[in-house]
Amino acid sequence: MTPNPEIERLRGLVSAGNPQAAAELALDLADRFPANAEIMDASIDALVRSGDIESALRLSEAAAGRGHPASRFRFGRLLREAGQAPAAIEALEAALAADHEPRTEVLLHLALAQADLRRETQAMALLEELLEIEPGHQLAQFNLASLLQAAGRGAEAERLFLQVLERDPTFSEALSRDLYGRRMTQGDRTLVRRAEKRARSQMTP
C-alpha cells in the first residue's frame, strides 16, 4: 500500500518536534477529509502527541459517531488518558461490541478504565477474559497481579508475576515506560521486588 503523503507529512512534523505545525495540519486534514478513517486516526494521534487533547477528543468523538470500531477504541483510550473513565468505558464497550481487533487491547484498556474507578472485580474479570485469549499477555498478567496484590492476595499475585519474569527477565525495566498512563503503586513495587527476588533464588544453583 502506498503511504498517504498527507499522513507522512503530518508524522514528519510530529517526529521533528513541531507540535504547533503538526496540530494545525491535523485539524486542516480532519476538516478536508472527515470521511477518511486513516487520515482522521493519524490526525487524532498527532493532536495527542502535540498535547491538544481537547481537539483530539473532539475529532475522536466525530469519527466514533461514524461507527468505526477503531475510532471507538481510539476515542475510549483518549478519554481514559484525559481522566474521563466513565465515558471511556462506554466507548470501549462499544468497540468491544463492534468486534474491534485486536480484542485483547480493547479488553486491556477497558479493564484499566474499570480499575481507575476502583471497580476491581470487573477489571479482574476483563483481564482474565483477555488471558484466556492470549495467555502470555504480559501487561494483562502484571495488571491482574497488581489487582490481586491490592486485594490482599499476595501469594497469587507473586506467582502470576513470576510467570512474566520467567519468560522475560527484563520486563520490570519496561514497566515504568509502558503502563498506559497508570502509575506504579507502592504495592506494585513490593510485588515486583518480591517476585524478582524469588526469580533470582530459583536461578541460584
Question: Which residues lie below 8 Å from residue 90, measured CB to CB, with a gap of 6+?
Answer: 76
* pLDDT score recorded for residue 60: 82
Cell of residue 130, nine digits? 483477555
pLDDT above 50 for 204: no
Looking at residue 142, its amino acid is: F
Q: List the one residue out of 144, 173, 176 whose CA is nearest residue 161.
A: 144
Q: What is the pLDDT of residues 18-35, one digit of tens each?
A: 989 999 999 999 899 888
What pTM value is reported for the model?
Answer: 0.74
CA distance 157 to 148: 5
pLDDT above 70 for 122: yes
CA neighbours closer than 13 Å in the CB half-sphere of residue 135: 2
Percent of the chain with pLDDT over 70: 89
- Point out the least confidently predicted range of 38-47, 52-61, 64-73, 78-87: 64-73
Q: What is the pLDDT of residues 42-55, one digit of tens each?
A: 898 888 888 888 88
